Amino acid sequence: MERFGGLSAIDIVRRAERYRPVLFAALAILLAAAVLPGPEQVATEAAAGAVGPRTPLFAGDDGDRDSPSPPAGDAPGPPPAVPLATHPAGGPASLGTAPRAGGTPTPRPSGTAAPTPPPAGGAERAAPLEASYRIAASGWASRAAGTPLDGVEVPEGSLPVGRRAGQTDRLSFVRLEGSSTALILTPVPDQGANRFARLAGVALCPITEPSWAPAEGVPLDEAPEHDCGAAIEGEAGEDGRWTFDLTGVAEPTSASGFALVPAGSAPDFQVAFAVDP
């Protein structure tokens, strides 16, 4: 067997076996030095990590292993609150909001309409006034009652008021209904029923007995008792209508009603008013 420096090949192999761990350790150190980055490369990657993510070195490395954590206090806050969308009354099931004192919205159930504001002053709106009171019941009396002249110049459905030879010839009586400030009467279009109408004067006198019954053509002494001490004189307009102002009367629609009597100084005239103008 050959010898090298006094050692046989077998002796050399045996001694090499003794230093195998040392050789493997040295080999591992050389391999690590070749694969792992050096100090300069680590510093460069650390600086690059402050700007963007690092390129992964190994499979499964997400590139953020060596990235610095954000400093305390710089964490992003929650996203800003998005206001709820409002919908018209009766819309989809989302909540509309109505402002509450202090600026905090108060949710309003879906499908409910906004409350209607009250009228100015907080009082309920009064019913609108009519142009005129309406005649609920009526009748008339005549000096010629029971004679052939009883119904002459008195059209059906009219209320005659007049004088003849300076004396009361006919008068009428009415009960009123409705809500207004005046009684407005229109003469019938029959020319024969309106005699010397431009000279006529008509007054409204409160009746003093509430139990009278409607009747036509009754004698004057059977007409309801009335008091002309508080008479309301009518005013004839250019259109021919007569207006009686009742703003000063406490109860215009009381059961007593009013008598329509001749007024003024004209000795002879007649006006026949329509019950339903």
pLDDT exceeds 60 at position 95: no
pLDDT at 184 over 50: yes
Whether the pLDDT of residue 230 is over 50: the answer is: yes
Residue 25: the pLDDT is: 81
Average pLDDT over residues 85-93: 46
The neighbour count for residue 178, using CB atoms within 10 Å, is 15
Q: What separation in angstroms does the CA of 168 have from each of 67, 162, 171, 249, 268?
A: 120, 6, 7, 25, 9
Residue type, 83: P
Contact (CB, 8 A) for 271 and 189: no
pLDDT over 90 for what percent of the chain? 47
User: What is the reported pTM?
Assistant: 0.55
What integer is the mean pLDDT of 166-176? Answer: 97
Residue pLDDT, tens place only, 26-42:
778 887 777 666 655 55
How far, in Å, CA of 195 to CA of 233, rounded?
19
For residue 128, the model assigns a pLDDT of 72
Q: At residue 197, does pLDDT exceed 70?
A: yes
The per-residue pLDDT for 32 is 73
Residue 59 pLDDT level (bands cut at 50, 70, 90): very low
| Percentage of the chain modeled with pLDDT above 70 | 61
Query: Mean pLDDT across the stretch 180-187?
Result: 96
Top pLDDT among 22 and 233 is at 233
Element (H, E) at 176: strand 167-177
Reading the block at residue 249, the tokens are: 């009367």
Q: How many CA atoms lie within 13 A of 26 on its CB side?
A: 5
